[in-house]
A and B are shown apart, each in its own frame.
Chain A
Amino acid sequence: MFETISNFVAAFLTLSIFSFLYKDNPFYKFAEALLVGVSMGYAIPLVYENVFLPYVYSPIFLSHKFIIIIPALLGSLYMFRFSKNLGWLARYPIVFGLSIVGMSVPMSIHSSVLVQMRSAMLPIDGINTALIFIGTITILLYFFFSKAHKGIYGKVTNVGIWFMMIGFGASFGYTVMARVSLLIGRIQFLLGDWLGLVK
């Protein structure tokens, strides 16, 4: 019984969102606002239970680790973003957060720069590695703006543009596939879970 009701509600909200394809309407606006509200309403108690209680309340009040008060106070400075006069206080937790990001710099350089460079320097032993070699060189040359893109140099950078266009095309193709997949998921729900036409 509960499943039937929940399926009806989900189907109504799905169709309300799809109705935007015809034109903007109150059903669409209602479903959109409800999504935002429910997401927030769901997240707040979950964060309270999974973050505030185990990482702030329990250590301070149950385990008496009073040192936790310092990061808790630092974190609460975020709330001053809503104040015009004291908004600057919110910068302190942001600064602290950014300093933590610095910790990941060496490991990020390793995985996102050094390993990628090493892979690009492998011997050309097939059509794929040859294409990667030509693509990397011509695209890097395209982004070298200290020389005018004219003559032979211009032709080489044009090859880079072609490589980028093919890359954008592949990326766009995947995007279309993803969007169609989402539509398939919703229609599978409507036809299967709701109407019971697909089993």
Chain B
Amino acid sequence: MNKNVIKFFDKIQNIDRRYIYIVVAFSIIIPLLIPFNSPTYVTKPTSDIYKKIDSFAGDKTKAILMSFTHDASTMPELFPMEVSVLRHCFERDIKVFMICWLPAAAPLVDYAINTAKEDFDVQAGVDYCNFGYKPWVLRLPIMLGMGDDVAKAVKTDSQGRKVENLEIMKNIKNYDDLNLVIDFAASSSAIQWITYARARFGANIAAGVTAVMVADNYPYLHTGQLMGMFRGLKGAAEYEKMVDVFAAYESEDHPNGRPFSKEIIKETSVPITGDTVPYKYKKARIGMNAQSVAHIMMIFFILLGNIGYFITRKKEL
């Protein structure tokens, strides 16, 4: 083996880790500063959630519940999902409820609503309702109670108004009407919904989780107990694209969006460069550009490190 090659790999094996940090930082900063149009492939766990939510379009007897079980530390992955789901609901006139279980999640719910609603003519208590912060220790009576009567289980919204008096509650009684619960979490909290709301009342449950938690939730997706799952930033990017392609689509034939179609989503690419789509609705897709470059960089480092390891080991032998 060439001495220079061995010397190079010797050096690489002992490189200061801070140089690697710099390279990773640049591999993220550059794609964010100079975004490019990379394809976003939509997978079944994400499209299943889209189809389910979209099936409630214009139906005043059905609603979805968004459960926030995370704090600001996991916002980069979960927040784009939440904004996209809210945008979908507002675009397609779907009733949406929100609840959060951590004190630190309460401002995130407001932030998500405010981010999405500024482009729509929607009203609190009519088109959407924020139940606000409910303590995690009360999840059992609340999750079970909603199976009988949502208004009795939750009682007041985040503004202190009686839930039963809100206009949005017309035709909404229990999980038969609140037909889809999406739990956004950096933990396995979706399992709580599966255990209490699905096993007991047959509610449809979906999860929006950070990539770390995906492996933990896969068994429940595989068995159909989770009807769909947003998997980290990739899931958020997929949903952003679907909302652009279908829910936000406008034409003479389809003035308020068009129905989901596998063929259309395969063939359509939405440019993320330019001003066609507001930045807040393409944040995850731009993030995925950086993610791809960072992953290529890491694969390169892993290969380089392993080649170096084998070469230096051979030299030692």
Contacts and interface: CB of A to CB of B under 8 A. Distances in A.
Ordered nearest first, which 6 A-B pairs have the shortest CB separation? Answer: A185-B76, A178-B211, A43-B103, A119-B223, A171-B215, A177-B211
A198 B234 CA distance: 20
B308 interface: no
A180 B294 contact: yes
B114 interface: no
B196 A107 contact: yes
Nearest to A106: B199
Contacts of B200: 107
B133 A185 contact: no
B123 interface: no
22 contacts: A21-B21, A22-B18, A42-B103, A46-B133, A51-B135, A54-B156, A55-B138, A103-B140, A111-B199, A115-B225, A171-B215, A174-B212, A174-B214, A180-B290, A180-B294, A183-B24, A183-B25, A184-B28, A185-B287, A191-B33, A192-B279, A198-B32
Interface of B: 18, 21, 24-25, 28-29, 32-33, 73-77, 103-104, 106, 132-135, 138, 140, 155-156, 191, 194-196, 198-200, 210-212, 214-215, 219-220, 222-225, 231-234, 279, 283, 286-287, 290-291, 294-295, 298
Nearest to B210: A178
Interface of A: 21-22, 39, 42-43, 46-47, 50-51, 54-55, 100, 103-104, 107-108, 110-112, 115-116, 118-119, 167, 170-171, 174-178, 180-188, 191-192, 197-199
B181 to A, nearest CB: 14
A148 B23 CA distance: 48
A170 B216 CA distance: 11
Contacts of B195: 104, 107-108, 110-112
B153 to A, nearest CB: 13
Given A46-B106, A54-B156, A185-B77, A177 B291 contact: yes
A187 B234 CA distance: 17
Contacts of A110: 195, 199
A182 B291 contact: no
A196 to B, nearest CB: 11
State the majority secondary structure of interface residues on A.
Answer: helix
B21 A181 contact: no
Contacts of B155: 54
B196 A180 contact: no
Nearest to A104: B195
A184 B215 contact: no
Nearest to A187: B28
